[in-house]
Each structure stands twice: as C-alpha cells, then as structure tokens.
Structure 1
Amino acid sequence: MIDITDYLWIIWLSFIVICVIIELLTLEFTFLMIAFGSIAGLGAELLGWEWWVQILLAAIVSVLLLFTIRPLLLKKLRTGEDPTPSNIAALLGMRGRVVSPIVETGGLVKLANGETWTARIASSTEQRTIETGEDVLVTVVDGATVVVVPVERATV
C-alpha cells in the first residue's frame, strides 16, 4: 500500500510551480507570498516533520509575508507611476463648449481635449437647455454620452 505522505514533496513542488505561474499572470505578489510559504512547507517535509506541521508552517509563513512584505513590494512597484487619470476618469470634471444646443433629447459638446461627445443635461440642473457656445462641465460619463452641467461665467 502506498502512503501519500511519502510523496508530499511532489505535492509541495507542484503547488509552488502553480503559484508561481499564477503570480506571473496576476503580478499582485499574492501567489508569490503563498509560493514562499509553500517553500517553507517543503522545507519542513524535507526535515521529516509531520504533514499537519508542514501545512501549518506554510500557512503561517504565507500570512506573515502577505501582511508584511507584500504591501512594501506593491508600494515600491507603484512608485514613479503616472498619476494622470486616463480614459473615463480623465473626462470627469473636464470643461467643454456646446457645439449643438443641448436639449432634453441631447446635444453635442466639444471637450477641452478636442473630442466631441454627445451630451445631456444632468437631472440635478434646473436649466433645461444649454445654447451653443456655452461652457459646460462633465459630471458623469454614461456610455458614449457625457452628462454635463452649465458653468457659470465669472464676471470681471
């Protein structure tokens, strides 16, 4: 009869390889920390410790690494990152000028970045139409439509 505990080292090695492969796909350092915990479990196996001690040691090392080393690695990885918002986040708060009057069915707005978007007036605004040439501010992006509010012109 085969005793599976005689082959735990193969299970540990397989688990380590699987964790490293998943880590290469995710790049979040979570599975890397679990892989290092599994290396501790493999070490316990090679020292001849009981199977439950191996699992306990692997779990403790993994949790410690997840809560201590992983945050430091993520912080280091994200230093120098470009803080400029992109995609939809870049449109929120952007100013624009009305190209085609915005009525209840919609209109067109040319945004400060040069793009022309279909637009509608925010429901919180009392104004029901915005005429051509008026300045607006993007509050929400809903699909291919920006929801805008009129910008009050400052008097000089």
Structure 2
Amino acid sequence: MEWIREYATEAWLGLAILLGVAEMFSLDLVLIMLAAGAAGGLVTSLFTELVLVQFLVAIAVSVGMLAIVRPGLARRLHTGPELRIGHTRLIGTQGTVTRAVTAMDPGEIKASGEIWTAKPYDETLTIEAGETVDILEIRGATAYVHPVPRLEL
C-alpha cells in the first residue's frame, strides 16, 4: 500500500498514456474518456496522497466524460455533410429551358453552366423555352424537370 501512495502520480500518468494509446486502436471514444479520468486522478495525486480520493475523482471524471462529452462528440464525428457528386448535385436545383421540353420530344435545359437533355416529370406538360424549371430526377443523361410556378398578377 505504501508503494501505491509513493508512486500514485506515475501510476496515473502511465494509465492515462496506456488508455490514450489504446484509444488510437479502438477509435470508440470510450478509452479516451477513461484516460481523462486517469488524468483527473493524476491531478488529484498532486494535491493529496489519499488514494481513495484520487480513485473517486478518476471515476467521477470518467463517468462525467462518458455521459456528457462522448455523446455529442461521437455524434459530431460520425455524421458529416452529405456529399453530392456527379449528376446528383443537380437534383433540387433550377435550370432554364433552352429548347421546348415535351414527353414525346425531349428538349434541353441549361443547369449549372451545362446543357442537359430534358423531359417533363409530368408527361402531360409542355415546357416552353425560357421557362425556369426544377430538376427533380436524373436518369442516365436525361434530366426530368418540372416548371417553377409563377405568380400571375
């Protein structure tokens, strides 16, 4: 028991380093929270020789980190922005009709500086040149579009 009191600071430091290194292999954000608890025990060992107090502080810090810090940190790390690449980046954007669009005769639209073959999403519609359209879907190299409603005064 005397050895633990004498080398408590070094033991807490070693435990914190060991848990930190183990976290690099697990990447689960649990061991790093326990390492923070060991660091709390380390700091406490600098102020008191009572091992029970050091142990209680280490447990309190570990539980607090696991309950308060880890959920938000894990959520932030595991969710990121939705990457829209290729033609899917056009879905939900608007374009301008350059050649009339009908179901029987595909027309053309200009969207994001590119010319696309287009068909109406609603096959009964005819969309004239100059109209602004929403791009709802892309199938192959054809954009399926719907006219943007305009307010008539």
TM-score, with length taken from structure 1: 0.49
Please identify the structure whose Cα radius of gyration is greater: 2
TM-score, with length taken from structure 2: 0.50
